[in-house]
Amino acid sequence: MVLPMKVDHLQVTVKDVNEVEAFYDGLMDALGFDLSKKINVYLEELDMHVIEYLDCTYDFVICSALKQYEGETIHRRKPGAVHHIAFRAASRDEVDRIYQKVLSLGAEILDAPQIFPQHGPNYYALFFNDPDGIKYEIVNNDDHCS
């Protein structure tokens, strides 16, 4: 039997890394990333500012847009775009805790924590946008892996 591969890292392009760094620091801290392992670099050969939040399970990275795209709007339904990124929480209490954190970070709340029966009887989730409008989800689905 072949097991599914695990995600090594996710890299998301944002409009201005400097403007969203504090938001992502708070979010990544709430998700359990150790901010002392954060790497913040400018890659001159790529003209790209990169912030990496490192962990032994996977890394989360934000990077700058190319200058010609800085003014473009983000839309999750554009071809090639990420629709949204969902993080699995260990419990409903964890979803609620992160909800309080993203509220304090100024996230745009799309749906406060609740059951979404269209995804299953135990699908408890929070949906929010980052400052650029990138959609995220925090979910606890107790029967997902049973």
**The predicted structure's pLDDT at residue 64:** 94
**The predicted structure's pLDDT at residue 145:** 56
Regions of the chain with pLDDT less than 70: 143-146
Can you list the domains of the chain with their CATH numbers? 8-67 (3.10.180.10), 83-146 (3.10.180.10)
**The predicted structure's pLDDT at residue 84:** 95
**The predicted structure's pLDDT at residue 97:** 97
| DSSP codes of every residue in 29-58 | HHTT--GGG-EEEEEGGGTEEEEEE--SS-
